[in-house]
Structures are given as structure tokens and as C-alpha cells.
Structure 1
Amino acid sequence: MRLRHLLTTLALAAGLAAPAWAQECVGRNLFDDLPPGRMEQLQAATRDIPFHRGLFWQATKGDQVVTLIGTYHFNDPRHDATMKRFGPVLDKAATLLVEAGPAEEKRLAGAMTRDPSLIMDAKGPTLPERMSPEDWKSLWTAMEARGMPAVVTSRMRPWYVSVMLGISPCMLQTVRKTGDTGGLDHQLIKRAEKAQVPIHALEPWDTVFKLFAGMTPDEEIDMIRAAMPAAEHADDYAVTLTEAYFSGDSWLIWEFGRFDAYDNSGMSRAEIDQQMRLAQDKLMDQRNRNWIAPIEAAAADAAKQGKGVVAGFGALHLPGRNGVLALLQAKGWTIRPIKSGEEANGG
């Protein structure tokens, strides 16, 4: 989800990058360590999710064509093949739609620099006052590995903490060195800029600050607790996520996170399921619904020019009953996968 990339941008803008001693990203695919029968459980949990397998799709409605690219937000040499395949389609497109374009990212980082209260709470109780001593110790240890001292973490808003826990310290260090995530989203944006294809954001620049409004204090702390198991082996999680993405099975990592929290968070299954529902609703479902209107409007305008649209956003936004593909299908669009080896055609 590009949300994590945006939070990385915010962290860098605030100078909260990973410490200088961070090592090169080294991890293992946690799927290789699953106990007997666990992969079958994950696959069973994924099996009935609409459009759960595949990264590249085409949506058509009359003469309107949208090429949908599920992205991974950090650098990987395997993105080169994707760009080689879809770059020519993007060059001919009327518009590139992304979660946040260069203008939105600049405005987002600038707002946080000017107003730290967007991610910091200077008035309310601190996180150590709201958490058990054991949970607080685990949290500040994990956040210090991400370059954030305990005194800073203690005043961070819980939503920011919980999502940052999912970012590998190594990834933060890499972005700090390069100033760019190098992810597929950025590569699409750079290609569009070179081809002078307009870039439009699917949502306002300040969406990230509004996603978690209305959560109760207990829900906020539970959100952090549910994120802690992944934080303890974030580099392994990063490798696992990357391999799941490039295999076209992005939703497996979502279910893997659920079962990992079942095993290691100390929370009940009911509590974890509630947190997963909450996260899916706020991070994906609500945003997916809001994206349909701009996608349809861009496609209609492009069709008048005899062109198509390219939409690139986090791969987890594609599948699901409230995923972008199912929502477009419900609006009368025909959805088909762009299969491996098939020549991409943007209309």
C-alpha cells in the first residue's frame, strides 16, 4: 500500500530516518518457515477473495479502457520487466492515475514539516501512559530501530506508529540514502513525466490524516499491539511481502499477517479479526470506493481522445469484495487479467 510510502516520505521530511548502522536488507521468506498445514489455511482464507491472484488487469466499458497495475512501493530489479511491458502503454495513455502524485507528496511532506501535530500529540497522555510496561518496551525498541527515539515515539499518534511498524528499518535506510523509494509507483510517474502524460491523484493529499478519525483510545492501542509481531522481524516480512507480490499472490501476505498476529500478539482471535476488519476498511475499502468516480471520469475523458488510462496503485487495492476490480465490475465494467507474455494494449 502506497500509504506506507507516504509515511516514509513524512519520516524523512521530519529527519526520522533509520540510524546509520542499519545493515543491507537481509531476510528470509517466512512462508518457508510455516508449520505443517499453515499454507493450506492461508490459501483457504484467500481462495474466495474475488480477483485475489494477479497484478495486471484491463477494465473495458464500451470504448473506454483502463489498464490497472498493482504496484509494490519499494525498489526491486524485477520492476524493470513491468516497465518494459507497460511503459509503451503509458506513453500513449491520456492520463496516469496514482494514489498520490508529485504535487500531493510535496504538499503532504510540507504540511507535516509545518505542523508536527498532524502526527504528534503534545497534549494528551503519552503512549507509555496508555500501554502496559511490556508493550511499551517492545514498541520503543522497535521504533528506535527505525530511527525514532523513545521520547519522540511516546508522543506519536497511534495510527502513525502502527503503520510505521510495518516498514523495515533497512528500507527506511535505503530510502534515506537515495531520497526515493524506487518503487513501481515512482517509476510509472517518472515515465509519465518523460512522455508528458498528465498525472492525476486518486485522492486528496491529506487523506492519510483523515483515515483513522473516530477510533476509540482502546482501538488505537490495539492497532499498535496487532502490528507488533510483524515489527519484530520486519526485514523477513519485507522479503515475504516482496516474493508474494512478484508471485501475484499479494493477498496471501494479508492473511499471513492475520495468522501471525493470532500466534504472537497476545490478543484474542476476535480482537485480531476486529483489527483486521478495521484496517481493511480504513486503509483499503473506503479509499477504493472513493477512487471509482475519478477512474471512471478519467476513462470517459480519455475515450473522447481515442486513448486509454493507466492506473497504478498498491496491489492490495485490486482484490476483494470491496476491491477496485469488483467495484468496477459492479458498475458494468468488463474485467480481465493481462496474462504473462500477453502484449499489453491500453486501447
Structure 2
Amino acid sequence: MIPRLLSFLCFITLAGPVAAACSGNDLRETLGPEEQATLDEALKDVPFPEGNHWKATRGDETLHLIGTMHLADPRLDAPLERLRDTVQSADLLLLEMTAEDEAALQQRLTLDPTLLLMPDTTLPELLSEEDWAKMSDALTARGLPPFMAARFQPWYVSVVLAVPPCAATTDLSAGGMDAQIEEIAVSADIPRAALEDVETIFGAFAGQSREVQIDMMLSALVDPVISEDLFATLLASYFDEAHAEGWAMSSVLAQRYSPINASAAADIFATMEQELLIDRNRAWIPVLLDATKGNDVVVAAFGAAHLPGSDGVLALLQTEGFTLERLPF
């Protein structure tokens, strides 16, 4: 659960089981003039802003890039069926992490809980009495007793708080698109490999300074209703195949709703964009190029937020000489 939960933060979306338990409104129609202008500027001239399925070709090399959501939703059934032949005809499937990698990380975290715990202090000591009271309420609403969470690393608390209370008891990763694509590959005996070391995402969070982690944690203290709306908004963007808009909306709405000041919220968002998206995108390109050697067709499935932008996987492949073609999703 923890590895997929970390991965899911790269493109926060709404799971099918969550949809049954939660209600939320698409906030894209609620933007004020300044927010709309900010969104329009962010999307101006963004390379490859839309499309969840792309084919990249260079000579005899063929890569299928599938933008996923890491969670389950019944509306994924039709896209998955359309993608079945593509996955089954591949020589190799690349994922952010394989099921075996996820299990290994989960076991490590279970055996060594200190990876998630602060050795020298507690959250009540780091926060004001008022902030800890709000934090306690938010944790309790998600079924996590505050006394149990008091020693958690602040970054991990921010991950927990990213899931609205209505979804707190749901296994968010069960039946997610990545997992279902992997199941298709396993059934067809298609080899699988990971795009990165299993601890990469973990390190992106844990490597932040404690001050940044605390800001991350406090910025996640939004009203549960707003949390549901944020989920619903990004879900709508995903199914519209508008992943650039979804990511840009996240930034705009973070500044609208974050309990911390707008400048700090923007800094946190920029830091996470750099570490969770840009740095990883660039690290994946050699892996993707390597995979095409000896494999006629490679399918790579990863969070849709990695596709767009000048630092997105599609644009980076284009600079390597690949021709990009958008395909039906």
C-alpha cells in the first residue's frame, strides 16, 4: 500500500472504490479571472499537453507510452480492453515498479519501521498546540490515532493527509491501472522490468529537509470537502486525457486552498515537481532507450503527469530523435 500511495501522489486521482465512498465537484469551472490567467499561462506552449497513449518510433525502435492513474476506477475497463493487444504484443513491459518490487519495499518498511519514524522528536513537539490539534482531528478522521502518528516523519503524514477521510479505509492501489496492465503482461508471459530503483519515490520525500516536510504536512490540512473536490477535479482531467491541465490545476488549487502562505505552497509544489517528475523523467530516458535494444516493441506504463511538458517523457524522447504519434486511449 505505501509504495503505491507514494506513487499515486505524482498524479492524485480518484479510485473507483473511492468514487463509491466520496463525492466531489470538478473545480475547473470555478476558477476566478486571476486563477484562469495563471492556468492559461502555465499551459501556454506546453509540448504534448494531452493524450494518454502515444507511440514513439525511431527506425526499427517502437515504444508505446501509456499514461496511467495508479488507482482503480471502473471507467478504466474500456481503455484497458483497448490496450490489451498492445500490451500482449510487447516484447517488454516497463513500469514504475513491478509487483515484486512493491512487495519487497513493503516488506522492508514492515521490518524496519524506523524508515517512517522520527528518532529524535515528535510531531506535537514540532507543531504549535493549535496545529497539532488540527492535525490530530485530521488523522483521527482517517482512522489513524494521533498517538500512533506522533512519531511519523512529516512527509509521510502529508501522504496520509492527501487521501480524503471518505477514502481512508480503501485500498487505493487495488486494481489500479498499472496493476491491471501488469496482470495482462503476466498472463501473456511478457517480461517486466522497473523504470527505476524501487526506493526512488521514497527518497524523493524522505530527502527533504524537516522544515520542508513540515510545510508539506501543514499544506495538506485542507477541509475534507475540499480534499474530495481536488480528487474529483484531477480525475476529470485524467479521463479528459488533459494531463498537463490536471497538473497545472493542482498548482493553482494548492495556492487557493493551502493553509500555509501561497509562496510556501508554490515552493513546495515546485520542489515536488522537480523531484517527482522532472528528475525521474530524465532518469527514465536512458532506461527506455536501453530497453529498445533487442526488443522490437516496448510498452512503458507510468503516471500520466510524466507525459507532458518540455521536461516530460514525450518531449525528451523527441529530442532523442523519436517521432511521436498520439493513439486512441
1:85 aligns with 2:74: no
Q: Given the two structures, how large is their TM-score scaled by the length of structure 1?
A: 0.84
Residue equivalent to 2:203? 210
Amino acid at match of 2:69: Y
Q: Which residue of 2 aligns with 1:70?
A: 67
Tell me the CA shift for residue 37 of structure 1.
5.8
Structure-1 residue corresponding to 2:167: 171
| 1:13 counterpart residue number | none
1:336 equivalent in structure 2: 325
Mapping of residues 201-280 of structure 1, within 5 Å: 201-229=194-222, 233-280=226-273
2:183 maps to 1:190 = yes
Q: Cα–Cα, structure 1 residues 251 and 127, in superposed 2: closer, same or farther, change >3 Å? A: farther
Structure 1 residue 156 corresponds to structure 2 residue 152:
yes
Q: Verify the 8 A CA contact 2:244 2:308 in the aligned structure 1.
A: yes
Distance in structure 1 (CA, Å) of the matches to 2:59 and 2:171: 42
Superposed CA deviations along residues 312-338 of structure 1, whole A, max 9, x for unmatched, are 110001112221112212222222221
CA spacing shift, 1:200–1:154, aligned 2, 3 Å: same
Alignment of 1:306-321 (within 5 A): 308-321=297-310
1:200 aligns with 2:175: no
Alignment match, 2:48? 51
Give 1:273's aligned amino acid.
Answer: A
Distance 1:118 1:254, change over 3 A: same
Query: What one-letter code is carried by the residue in structure 2 that aligns with 1:85?
Result: R
Once the two structures are TM-superposed, the CA of residue 283 in structure 1 deviates from its matched residue by 1.2
Instruction: Give the equivalent residue in structure 2 for 1:19.
Output: none
Which segment drifts farther, 41-50 or 241-250? 41-50
2:288 aligns to what?
295
Q: Do the aligned partners of residues 158 and 231 (structure 1) sit closer, same or farther apart at CA in structure 2, a change above 3 Å counting?
A: farther
Distance in 2 (alpha carbons) for counterparts of 1:230 and 1:253: 20
Q: Unaligned regions of 5+ residues in structure 1, if any?
A: 10-21, 341-347
**TM-score, normalization by structure 2:** 0.88
Q: Report the AA paired with residue 139 of structure 1.
A: M
| Contact 2:56–2:64 (8 Å) recurs in 1 | yes
> How far apart in 2 are the matches of 1:169 and 1:184?
23
Deviation at 1:94, TM superposition (A): 0.4
The corresponding residue for 2:140 is 144
Aligned-partner Cα distance in 1 for 2:250–2:34: 16
Cα RMSD after superposing both structures? 2.5
Q: Which residue of 1 aligns with 2:93?
A: 96
> Which piece of structure 1 moves more, 57-66 or 262-271?
262-271
**Equivalent-residue separation in structure 1 for 2:75 and 2:127 (angstroms):** 41
Cα pair 1:230 1:257 within 8 Å, conserved? no
Matched, 1:61 2:58: yes
Q: Secondary structure at the match of 1:312?
A: strand
Unaligned runs of 5+ in 2: 9-18
Counterpart residue identity of residue 305, structure 2:
L
Among 297, 316, 327, which residue is 1:327 paired with? 316
**In structure 1, C-alpha distance between the alignment counterparts of 2:257 and 2:25, rounded to whole Å:** 18
Alpha-carbon contact 1:61-1:333 (below 8 Å) kept: yes
Q: How many percent of aligned residue pairs carry the same amino acid?
A: 37
AA partner of residue 289 (structure 2): E
